[in-house]
Amino acid sequence: MITTLLSAALLAVSAEAPAPALSQESKALLRCSAAFAIVSHGQSVGNEAALKWPRLDTRGREFFVRSLAQLMDETGLDRDGISALVSTEAQGLWDRQEVDKVMPSCLVMLEASGV
């Protein structure tokens, strides 16, 4: 039910405004922010697959906030626009089952960020 509502909302938002062109760095920030959100949520509910990764509650959240603020500055999108971008990215990672694939490079990015 929630997935259906989220998908409908994302379709409505994406129909209203095209996604902005992002640099490779910004695409990586978006992808890792989405992956961290998925894993952090999984960790908070005791999901075994999510628990194999380092805890992301504090550092992952800070990375998420800083990255999305940077994306807002770069794209000029407001919170709703950025929320739609990260939701679309998270849904794509989930649907393609790519979270485990991107997490190693995202953890490197997290370390390099100094968060």
Tokens coding 41: 């949520």
The enclosing H or E element of 97 equals none
Give the start-to-end residue ranges of the domains of the chain: 23-113
Q: Is the pTM of this model over 0.85?
A: no
- For residue range 31-53, list pLDDT tens digits in order: 999 999 999 999 999 999 999 99
- For residue range 6-16, list pLDDT tens digits in order: 444 444 444 45
Cα(70)–Cα(62) distance, rounded to whole angstroms? 12
Q: What phi, psi does 54 have (nearest 5°)? A: -55, 150
